[in-house]
Amino acid sequence: MPVEIRKDYLVNLPRELERVIDHARQGQPPTRGQCEYLLALEPASIEAGVVRAAADAASRERFGNEAMLLGQIGIETAPCPGNCKFCVFGKEHTTFPTARLDRREILARAHGFADGDDLYALFLMTMHEFGFADLLDTVVAVRAEIPAHTQIVVNIGDFDAAQAVELRAAGVGGAYHVCRLREGVDTDLDPARRRRTFDVIGQAGLDFYYCCEPIGPEHTPAELVEQMFLGIEAGCFQHAAMRRVWLPGSPLANRGQVTELRLAQVVAVVTLAALGCPETKSIAVHEPNLLGLSAGANVVYAEAGANPRDKAADTSGHRGLDIAGCRKMLYESGFTALCRGDGTTVPLDLESLAPPETARIP
């Protein structure tokens, strides 16, 4: 159906939308009910465009038009007991063998991400079950290789308070953890157990990275709001939105995939809702894309190794965007500086995009 283009859009925004935008200008978040209203707008409508623009403006003001560059290494693959129906590693449908990057490969990838001196954090991702002692060894080895201004963050299965303390002592600065949309229905994991790990992360003093994911066409505004507010109520350091990637032959393939435009709408609502979360220091969009970065997101992740949304064993050069591509995307989105994990910033300009050998003409 063609999208209706109205000529009176500048003077006739719905009152509810005007209220949301007025509040956002004052740094006030929308209510849950207003978030549902915003998510029910047609993604290609003028109203949804206004929501994205309002979120973008609020985010740039809140974060000083600074962005964050993050990198993730999937260090292993195995048939995963989480059995998430949207993930290539779910034990009942995966075609991946059990495999692990060796230490040399992990360190080489860590250098590839961090050697530009502008990486905020390097994420180490495992399956839901993982070898804890081996992970600690990997953290210590990576910590010794990468600059102090780049943090290490883990994206692993559930863990307890003692393990959180050990992770922190080994040099971990944060953890990505999510109670996913339809957790326990589209996955074999216990939502309550997932949420308990939120508390463990906070109590250990680790930064809590959260995300509204994995978004599909079937998720209602009420479901999206319920799930995104779990992160806000837990004081997430980073909020985000990620769509479910269509994987032909996977258990949820028949549900399809939302567009990047719809994903940007969710990014915008997450951004506005997170105005009510003083702990939030950034908003991410997965996978990297320009629409999300003009709707409130100021973070993208470069990826290498295993990726739950990719049928390739190494996502770099496939679905995963490399670090140079992510840096350029942030630049093209108008961000002018990159934050590093120690609180310092570096400029994001044309010179920083140039490969080292052509950075300066003698």
Cis peptide before 287 (omega within 30 of 0): yes
Instruction: Answer yes or no whether residue 82 interacts with ligand SF4 by CB under 6 A.
Output: yes
CB of 285 to ligand SF4, least distance (A): 18
Instruction: Answer yes or no whether residue 84 interacts with ligand SF4 by CB under 6 A.
Output: yes
CA gap 77, 94 in Å, rounded: 10
Cα 290 to Cα 9, 43, 181, 358, distances in angstroms: 24, 16, 24, 26
Greatest Cα-to-Cα distance within the chain, rounded to the nearest angstrom: 62
Q: Which is closer to ligand SF4, CB of 21 or CB of 127? A: 127
Q: Which is closer to ligand SF4, CB of 163 or CB of 187? A: 187
- Which of 52, 109, 128, 244 contacts ligand SF4 by CB under 6 A? 128
**Which positions from 320 through 349 interact with ligand SF4, judged by CB under 6 A?**
none
CA gap 205, 161 in Å, rounded: 11
Structure tokens at 168: 């922190």
Q: Which residue number has the CB closest to ligand SF4?
A: 82
Bridge partners, residue 100, by sequence: 76
Question: How many helical (H) and strand (E) elements, i.e. helices and strands, does the chain have?
Answer: 12, 13
- Which of 58, 127, 204, 284 contacts ligand SF4 by CB under 6 A? 127
238-262 per-residue burial string, b: 16 or more CB within 10 A, e: under 16: bbbbbbbbbbeebbbeebebbebbb
CB of 101 to ligand SF4, least distance (A): 15
- Using the contact rule CB under 6 A, the part of the chain among 8-16, 82-90, 204-212, 221-229 near ligand SF4 is 82-90
Which contiguous run of DSSP H or E holds residue 151? strand 151-155
Surface-to-core class of residue 208, CB atoms within 10 Å of its CB (0-12 exposed, 13-18 middle, 19+ buried): buried
- Using the contact rule CB under 6 A, the part of the chain among 76-84, 95-103, 231-239, 258-266 near ligand SF4 is 76-84
Q: Which is closer to ligand SF4, CB of 173 or CB of 308? A: 308
Instruction: Answer yes or no whether residue 89 interacts with ligand SF4 by CB under 6 A.
Output: yes
CB of 312 to ligand SF4, least distance (A): 15
CB of 177 to ligand SF4, least distance (A): 11
Instruction: Answer yes or no whether residue 288 interacts with ligand SF4 by CB under 6 A.
Output: no
x/- map, 304-323, ligand SF4, by CB under 6 A: ----x---------------
x/- map, 168-187, ligand SF4, by CB under 6 A: -------------------x
Residue from 50, 120, 73 nearest 282 by CA: 120
How many residues interact with ligand SF4 (rule CB under 6 A)? 11
CB of 74 to ligand SF4, least distance (A): 9
How many alpha carbons fall within 13 Å on the CB side of residue 353?
14
Instruction: Answer yes or no whether residue 87 interacts with ligand SF4 by CB under 6 A.
Output: yes
CB of 262 to ligand SF4, least distance (A): 21
Residues in the chain: 362
Q: How many CB atoms lie within 10 A of CB 105?
A: 15
Q: Which is closer to ligand SF4, CB of 235 or CB of 251? A: 251
CA gap 65, 320 in Å, rounded: 25
Instruction: Answer yes or no whether residue 90 interacts with ligand SF4 by CB under 6 A.
Output: yes
Q: Are 72 and 125 in contact (CB under 8 A)?
A: yes
Instruction: Answer yes or no whether residue 80 interacts with ligand SF4 by CB under 6 A.
Output: yes
- Using the contact rule CB under 6 A, the part of the chain among 78-86, 140-148, 251-259, 350-358 near ligand SF4 is 78-86
Q: How many CB atoms lie within 10 A of CB 127?
A: 23
Surface-to-core class of residue 144, CB atoms within 10 Å of its CB (0-12 exposed, 13-18 middle, 19+ buried): exposed
Q: Are 71 and 301 in contact (CB under 8 A)?
A: yes
Q: Which is closer to ligand SF4, CB of 76 or CB of 166? A: 76
Q: Which residues are at the interface with ligand SF4 (CB under 6 A)?
A: 80, 82-84, 87, 89-90, 127-128, 187, 308
